[in-house]
Structure 1
């Protein structure tokens, strides 16, 4: 296989990965706190500015090979639900929950009380405080108020403060649709953020843009496949000529 054909095969593999990523984005358009992902293609990586790395991509990215995967940190729309333990972060950062294999981060603020009166996510992972401890709500409490700085008060008595953290750039890995694993620790967010009680952050996937992107990637895949078919025919013709000669 010559270098041109090898590059085309590599490009096809990249485009397949991108199609899979787009399909996953579309499947999670209604997933609370979901962040879209994709692949930066090598021909365009050098053209991206710092602002672009928030998630915007050039229209011609499908013409190259994969450089790196990206996750968009763009904030989704904040939907008002009125749920007492529905929480959204207005700004940067993540909630911290305690998983079976250590602390995990999430933007999905769907929380509830378990049988032990701890605030947990739907998977049963406790929400952690600034001290790294779960919140336990007394059984006789009638009112839970969460201030925008994360302070939780029950019947007017503060019981702790929710921490919002962030990681060094690129030092995070997705686990499922809504959990993230920090690769090099995390620190409290220094920029101004607000925790919004009674709100949930919607997915930041824009379906029309994703469908348009999928059409573009599929078109490039088909074009590259024609190139491979032509190369295969050329090699076959050369081999046949050599046998006849």
Structure 2
């Protein structure tokens, strides 16, 4: 494979990964608290073989070296459900999973069969006392104050733990709207603002993402045509060379 093919392949590989990121955004446009992601690209310049000096030709390769997350808050949506919670400001809810503590801004909560407050995936939401919340069978009213204090008609039962991180971009998305902090330490948010009966929507802009998907698809097809044309050029060159050598 010659240099033009290597350059085209680097671009095509980056486009394939970009399509995967855009498709994930589109799939999560209705996931509460989801943050859109985008690719980060870099240009790698290499001197072409046999060229020297300041004015020598350079080859440009495409390198994708990660994703960047749009941390802008999504639109606030009123639901009237007392177990739908939205964070009006910084922070993430802390949840317990089989793989350790994960973090999310998706406040679509519910009660499981044991009366425990869990996420829509069934993960317990944690309190500042490092325990989950349980609602007794005879308790029918759940109130969440703006500071995250959870109460029933029988009184307060705990306060939601809301945390922040030094580098939110370093959080690893493990599933829709849920993140693994890795080696980062979770820091309690000093001033928590929780909105009961509300959900923070995804900050994905559907029209922009679908338009982007079409653009990436067309660019990928264009590079594919270039690779096929370059392959055909090489075949013709080899055919011409072997034919002239045999003459």
Query: TM-score, normalization: structure 2?
Result: 0.84
Q: Secondary structure at the match of 1:20?
A: helix
Deviation at 1:156, TM superposition (A): 6.1
What is the match of residue 55 of structure 2? Answer: none
Task: Tell me, in whole angstroms, the C-alpha distance in 2 between the residues paired with 1:142 and 1:215.
Answer: 49
Matched, 1:184 2:183: yes
What is the match of residue 217 of structure 2? Answer: 218
Q: Secondary structure at the match of 2:15?
A: helix
Question: Which residues of structure 1 form unaligned runs of 5+?
Answer: 45-62
Question: Which residues of structure 2 form unaligned runs of 5+?
Answer: 45-60
Alignment: residue pair count: 227
Q: Secondary structure at the match of 1:68?
A: strand
Q: Secondary structure at the match of 1:74?
A: coil
Please say which structure displays the higher CA radius of gyration: 2
Once the two structures are overlaid, the 10-residue window that deviates more, 9-18 or 178-187, is: 178-187
Q: Secondary structure at the match of 1:16?
A: helix
What is the match of residue 14 of structure 1? Answer: 14
CA gap of 1:39–1:141, structure 2 versus 1, over 3 A, is: same
What is the match of residue 232 of structure 1? Answer: 231
What is the match of residue 95 of structure 2? Answer: 97
Contact kept, 8 Å, 1:40 with 1:67, in 2: the verdict is yes
Contact kept, 8 Å, 1:165 with 1:186, in 2: the verdict is no
What is the match of residue 173 of structure 1? Answer: 172
Structure 1 or 2: more strand by fraction? 2
Computed over aligned residues only, the root mean square deviation of the Cα atoms, in angstroms, reads: 2.1
Deviation at 1:43, TM superposition (A): 4.0
Deviation at 1:65, TM superposition (A): 3.3
Deviation at 1:172, TM superposition (A): 1.6
Query: TM-score, normalization: structure 1?
Result: 0.85
Contact kept, 8 Å, 1:120 with 1:126, in 2: the verdict is yes
Deviation at 1:161, TM superposition (A): 0.8
